[in-house]
Structures are given as C-alpha cells and as structure tokens.
C-alpha cells in the first residue's frame, strides 16, 4: 500500500502567501487538485486557514489568490507610509484608526479595554472573509482528514480541532470558519475568539503560541491513519511548508539584559524548529520534504498585505521553485504514486 500523504503548513500571517504559492505549484505540476494529493492536512494560523480551505474543496491556486484578494479586508487600510500605518493602523473610519492608536500606545502597559485591549486589528474583517470563503460547513464535513491547532487562554491548554474528533463527538463539530478564527487569533494582532464550547466559555488564541510549525502534531495524527491501514508509523510521505524565516541566531548566552533574554524566550516559543526536529526524527529521511525560505527580508511583518510585501514573498517563492524544481517534480510524482 502507498504511504499516507501528509501536508503540514506553518503559521505566519500574511506570509502564508509563500506556502500557498508553493502548494499551487505542486498542484500545477501534478495536474491534480491539491485536496486530492493529500490524505491529511495539518495547519497552524494562516497555515490552518489554507488547510481548511483545501478541506472545503478550494484549489491551492485560489488559496494563493486569497492573500492579495483579501489581505486589505483582513488587516484594513490602503497603501500608506509605514509610520502612519504603524501609529494609526489600517482601520477604515477615523474612530477605528484612533482606536488603533490607543491600543498601540496602551499595549505595552496592558492595553485599553475601551478600544478592545491590545489587539492591533479589529476582527470583523477577518471574520467576514472567513464567512464568505468557507461558508457554513462544519468540521465533520471536511473533504479530507484535517487537524488545526489553537490554544485556550482560559485554561492555558493547547487544543487540536480534528475532523476525526468531530465525526465521533458532536461537541467538536464547530463551523470551519470558527476553527479558522480560533487558529489565527494571534495575540496582539487579533482579539481572542470567545465562544461557549463543550459546556463552558473559551478564549481561543493562535495555535502558533505552542505549535507554529505543526509538523509534530501531523506526525501524531498520521499514526491513526497508518495503523488503520495496517501500516507502520513511518509509512508516510510528509510535505512540510514554511512561511519564511530569518537566519537563526544565538540565544540564551547569559550576557543579554532581562529584556533580551525575554525576547529569546518568545522567539523560542514561537520557533518552527521544534516541529521540524520532531518530524525528522519520526519520518524516514527519504519520505520527508521541507520547503522553507530562509531570508530576513521574507521574515518580516505578518500583518502587512501591501503590494510591495506580497511582491517580496512572490519573488521568494519563485526563487525557491526555480532552485528546487527537480525536487518539486519528485514531490508531485510521489504524491500521485499508487
């Protein structure tokens, strides 16, 4: 029997444009919709939105088009000078923009409840886009096995929303748009998703706070599929897509100020390296493919959908496609193999 085909997609806000473009290229080379190329897709934050889109039947190309088409509705505003956007944000009305300025000023000191805490962006744009793109389907109706990360801030516990659980326990069967909102509520970018779930109130924040690279979750979820098909846990073909990162630097060297050490701690908590280490230890080398751009220009702002920013991401994707063309052909062939 052929290996279980697994797709894992990192978090990274608007940088999700990069893995979406890579996935669209794989789809093009395979001449097959991406949703039919994989048995399981696992995603965090923007990667979770891409995964959910695939599981509703959307093409990878349409998901790549998602970022230039909806970026401004999600993050607001127009093409403006960086200083003005940083202070006043990108909300539409004067009141919204002043609210953003209040959050920016108040954020370091605990936020301003009157203006929605310390989130930089109002959630209405994101929620409207998710409703429009994903419709009314529930998690149990996903067209492929799906696992999406989140984190409940009220209990300080990681959460994984999966189609498998939704089909066996109706309490897990949330609307896919709510799952997408729960996985992408990045602290300081969007307010948490507050809903009643399983008999209590929950405050979901971005799954990237514990699994920015969800490859480790993808490995554990794949075990259910391999065992169900009489295969070993290593009988998977694993494709992991990153959203770009800066070259790694040293950390925790003991010479930084406490602020510098706190920064090291945050970077470690949101690192994509842990997921990669777990996947490489679990999956045979010949069955693991990681597509990641390492470039400080790419690893910039996660909430900047400007034309210039998207052009940088598109150029990085084009460079990777050119440099690893043979590998992309091999990936497409492996995904099509029976």
For residue 100, the model assigns a pLDDT of 58
Q: Among all residues, which ones are annotated catalytic?
A: 45, 206
Residue 212's CB is within 10 A of a number of other CB atoms, namely: 25
What pLDDT sits at residue 301?
85
Q: pLDDT tens across 23-61, in order?
A: 999 999 999 999 999 999 999 999 999 999 999 999 999
Task: Give me 114's structure tokens.
Answer: 């009157």
Check whether 304 has a pLDDT greater than 60.
yes
Q: Is the pLDDT of residue 99 over 70?
A: no
Q: What is the mean pLDDT of residues 207-222?
A: 95
Within 8 A by CB and 6+ apart from 105, the residues are: 112
Asked if 39 contacts 144 with a C-beta cutoff of 8 angstroms, the reply is: yes
CB 182 within 8 A of CB 136: no
Is residue 245 within 8 A of residue 20, CB to CB? The reply is no
pLDDT on residue 190: 93
- Contact 229/1 with Cβ under 8 angstroms? yes
Residues 6+ apart with CB under 8 A from 81: none
Q: Report the pLDDT averaged over residues 7-30.
A: 97
Q: In three state form, how does the secondary structure of 15-41 look? A: HHHHHHHHHHHHHHHHCCCHHHCCCEE
Structure tokens, 198: 């399983």
């Amino acid at each position: 029997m052929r290996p279980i085909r697994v797709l894992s997609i990192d978090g990274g806000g608007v940088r999700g444009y990069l893995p979406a473009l890579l996935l669209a290229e794989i789809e093009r080379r395979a001449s097959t919709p991406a949703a039919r190329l994989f048995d399981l897709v696992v995603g965090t934050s923007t990667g979770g939105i891409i995964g959910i889109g695939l599981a509703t039947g959307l093409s990878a190309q349409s998901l790549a088009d998602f970022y230039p088409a909806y970026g401004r509705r999600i993050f607001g505003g127009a093409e403006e000078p960086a200083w003005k956007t940083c202070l006043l944000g990108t909300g539409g009305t004067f009141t919204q923009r002043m609210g953003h300025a209040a959050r920016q000023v108040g954020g370091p000191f605990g936020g301003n409840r009157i203006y929605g805490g310390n989130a930089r962006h109002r959630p209405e744009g994101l929620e409207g886009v998710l409703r429009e793109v994903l419709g009314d389907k529930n998690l149990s109706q996903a067209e492929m096995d799906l696992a999406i990360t989140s984190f409940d801030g009220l209990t300080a516990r990681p959460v994984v929303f999966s189609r498998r659980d939704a089909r066996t326990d109706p309490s897990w069967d949330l609307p896919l748009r709510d799952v997408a909102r729960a996985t992408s509520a990045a602290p300081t970018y969007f307010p948490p998703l507050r809903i009643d779930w399983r008999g209590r109130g929950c405050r979901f924040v971005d799954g990237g706070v514990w699994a920015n690279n969800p490859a480790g979750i993808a490995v554990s979820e794949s075990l259910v599929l391999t065992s169900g098909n009489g295969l070993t846990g290593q009988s998977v073909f694993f494709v992991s897509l990153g959203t770009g990162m800066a070259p790694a630097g040293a950390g925790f060297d003991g010479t930084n100020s406490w602020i510098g050490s706190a920064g090291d701690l945050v970077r470690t908590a949101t690192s994509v390296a842990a997921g990669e280490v777990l996947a490489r230890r679990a999956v045979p080398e010949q069955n693991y493919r990681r597509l990641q751009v390492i470039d400080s220009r790419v690893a910039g702002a996660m909430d900047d959908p400007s034309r210039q920013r998207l052009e940088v991401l598109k150029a990085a994707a084009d460079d990777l496609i050119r440099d690893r063309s043979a590998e992309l052909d091999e990936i497409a062939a492996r995904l099509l193999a029976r």
